[in-house]
């Protein structure tokens, strides 16, 4: 069973859009039904089976999975759904990197977030029209949270799928170490472009559907500009999100091992350099501030993420990193 509640008769959504909010480590489920059923994002690898079952329960054969971006909580079901016959569509830069098995794919190794192997059948460019369900959707390249991030716009219904560009409560975190010092400025420009569409309904990949799209954009833009003005704050924000995700997918990390876990992570070492600290200092400070803020709780000598999440079976974390993925079998095209 997938935890969460189906959108059911959400009066804001047409009946061919089926949406279910899911806690971390999964992106929300979004199915666009019709002659070409499409799923937007496919959750975490540890819950791929549940994702596939949910799709089967709500639709016929899936034509496509569209990825808003390649983070592990958005592409984990790709491999399984692709094996079942769905094509995978993703932003062109991500598609190229996936095709050559670039070790940086999905930032999987960098963030220590496993992803099952997949290939991209359909690279997406800005402005391209995609038939999802029975409607045409426009692909919008919206870099910031990741360089290849895309959003999807359905102009008749004024529906806007925003991935991790923003949620009801926040702007997506940015990775200044991987994507450069302008990542936050880029994210704000993408947010503004999305806000200018004045959508009727915003569909974020995490959290609820915002009651007021305008208010959600205003809050996200405020937060985004703060990330631009305070790069150190942006790095801290990212580090807290990455660490919380690690705790969730591992069912917590032993208090005796957590420092050595963090010190072995590329993202922690990079963040420490940008924050002008040693990795040891940053690891200790990160643990300390997150315990003090209540974002991390210590139970039975283990550190756990305090936020709601669905547990993951440890064996599902065994997926190889992209550098070890088998070569793509060749694009099937759609
Ligand atoms: Zn993301």
Neighbours of ion ligand 1 (CB under 5 A): 71, 164
Ligand 1 centre to CA of 54 (Å) is 22
pLDDT bucket at 60, cuts 50 / 70 / 90: confident
- Can you tell me the distance from the alpha carbon of 165 to that of 148, in angstroms, rounded to the nearest whole number? 11
Establish if 267 belongs to a structural domain.
yes
How high does pLDDT run on average in the chain? 94
- Is there a single domain that holds both residue 147 and residue 216? yes
In a domain, 188, yes or no: yes
Distance in angstroms (rounded) separating the CA atoms of residues 176 and 229: 13
pLDDT tens digits, residue range 31-52? 999 999 999 999 999 999 999 9
Compute, in angstroms, the gap from residue 223 CA to the centroid of ligand 1: 17
Taking the centre of ligand 1 as the mean of its atom positions, its distance from the CA of residue 174, in whole angstroms, is 9
Name the residue range of residue 276's domain: 231-318
Same domain, residue pair 23 and 146: yes
The alpha carbon of 69 and the centre of ligand 1 are apart by a number of angstroms equal to: 7
Residue 5 pLDDT level (bands cut at 50, 70, 90): low
Predicted confidence at residue 333, as pLDDT, reads 47
CA 183 to chain centre: 16
Has residue 41 been placed in a domain?
yes
Claim to verify: residue 295 and residue 161 sit in the same structural domain: no
Question: Which tokens go with 115?
Answer: 């992803």
Ligand 1 centre and the CA of 66: distance in Å? 14
CB 211 within 8 A of CB 169: no
Q: Who wins on pLDDT, 5 or 226?
A: 226
**260 located within any domain:** yes
Q: Are 248 and 305 in contact (CB under 8 A)?
A: yes
Q: Do 170 and 197 have their domain in common? A: yes
Selection from 283, 324, 268, 296 nearest residue 105 by Cα: 324
Distance, CA 238 to ligand 1 centroid (Å)?
11
**d(CA 170, ligand 1 centre) in Å:** 13
β strands within the chain, DSSP E:
17-20, 29-32, 38-40, 64-66, 87-91, 122-124, 129-132, 135-141, 150-154, 159-163, 201-204, 253-254, 296-299, 302-305
Which pLDDT band holds residue 169 (cuts at 50, 70, 90)?
A: confident
pLDDT at 272 > cutoff 60 = yes
Same domain, yes or no: 83 and 139 = yes
Annotate 151-184 with b (16+ C-beta within 10 A) or e (fewer).
bbbbeebebbbbbbbbbbebbbbbbbbbbeeebb
Cα 300 to averaged position of ligand 1 atoms, centre (Å) = 30
Instruction: Tell me the C-alpha distance between 172 and 164, whole Å.
Output: 5
Is residue 328 assigned to a domain?
no
Ligand 1 centroid distance, CA of 235 (Å): 15
In this structure, the answer to whether residues 297 and 164 fall within a common structural domain is no
Choosing from 229, 251, 272, the residue where a domain stops is: 229
Q: How many domains does the chain have?
A: 2
pLDDT beyond 50 at 244:
yes
- CATH number of the domain that residue 69 is part of: 3.60.15.10
pLDDT at position 25 is: 97
Residue 334 lies inside a defined structural domain of this protein: no
- Evaluate if residue 330 carries a pLDDT over 70: no
In a domain, 2, yes or no: no
Domain CATH code at residue 274 = 1.10.10
Q: How remote is the CA of residue 194 from the centroid of ligand 1, in Å? A: 17
302 CA → ligand 1 middle, Å: 26
List 160's β-bridge partners, or say none: 153, 202
Question: Does pLDDT of 118 surpass 60?
Answer: yes
Q: How far apart are CA 278 and CA 262, in angstroms?
A: 12
Residues 185, 128 share a domain: yes
Asked if 198 and 259 sit in the same domain, the reply is no
Q: Within this chain, do residues 251 and 203 fall inside the same structural domain, yes or no?
A: no
Distance from the alpha carbon of residue 49 to the mean position of ligand 1, in angstroms: 21
How many angstroms does the Cα of residue 243 sit away from the middle of ligand 1? 14
**CA 28 to ligand 1 centroid distance, Å:** 12
Residues 251 and 267 in one domain: yes
* Same-domain pairing of 66 and 197: yes
Q: Is residue 51 part of a domain?
A: yes
Domain boundary among the residues 186, 206, 229 is at: 229
Shared domain for 189 and 292, answered yes or no, is no
């Amino acid at each position: 069973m997938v935890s969460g509640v189906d959108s059911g008769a959400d009066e804001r959504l047409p009946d061919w859009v089926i949406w279910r909010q899911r806690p971390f480590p999964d992106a929300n489920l979004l199915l666009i039904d019709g002659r070409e059923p499409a799923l937007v994002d496919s959750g975490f690898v540890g819950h791929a089976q549940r994702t596939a079952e949910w799709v089967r329960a709500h639709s016929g054969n899936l034509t496509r999975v569209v990825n808003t971006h390649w983070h592990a909580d958005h592409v984990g079901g790709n491999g399984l759904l692709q094996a079942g016959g769905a094509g995978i569509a993703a932003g062109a830069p991500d598609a190229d990197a996936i095709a050559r098995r670039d070790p940086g794919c999905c930032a999987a190794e960098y963030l220590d977030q496993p992803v099952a192997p997949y290939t991209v059948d359909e690279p997406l460019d800005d402005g391209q029209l995609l038939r999802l369900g029975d409607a045409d959707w426009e692909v919008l390249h919206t870099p910031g949270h990741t360089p290849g991030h895309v959003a999807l716009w359905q102009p008749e219904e004024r529906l806007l799928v925003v991935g991790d560009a923003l949620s009801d409560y926040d702007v997506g975190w940015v990775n200044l170490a991987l994507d450069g010092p302008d990542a936050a400025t880029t994210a704000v420009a993408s947010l503004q472009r999305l806000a200018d569409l004045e959508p009727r309904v915003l569909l974020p990949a995490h959290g609820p559907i915002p009651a007021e799209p305008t208010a959600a954009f205003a809050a996200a833009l405020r937060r985004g500009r703060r990330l631009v003005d305070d790069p150190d704050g942006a790095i801290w924000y990212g580090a807290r999100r990455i660490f919380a995700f690690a705790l969730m997918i591992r069912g917590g990390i032993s208090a005796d091992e957590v420092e050595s876990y963090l010190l072995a992570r590329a993202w922690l070492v990079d963040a420490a350099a940008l924050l002008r600290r040693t990795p040891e200092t940053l690891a200790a400070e990160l643990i300390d501030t997150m315990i003090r803020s209540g974002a991390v709780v210590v139970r039975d000598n283990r550190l756990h993420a305090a936020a709601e999440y669905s547990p993951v079976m440890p064996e599902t974390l065994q997926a190889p990193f992209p550098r070890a993925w088998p070569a793509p079998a060749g694009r099937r095209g759609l």
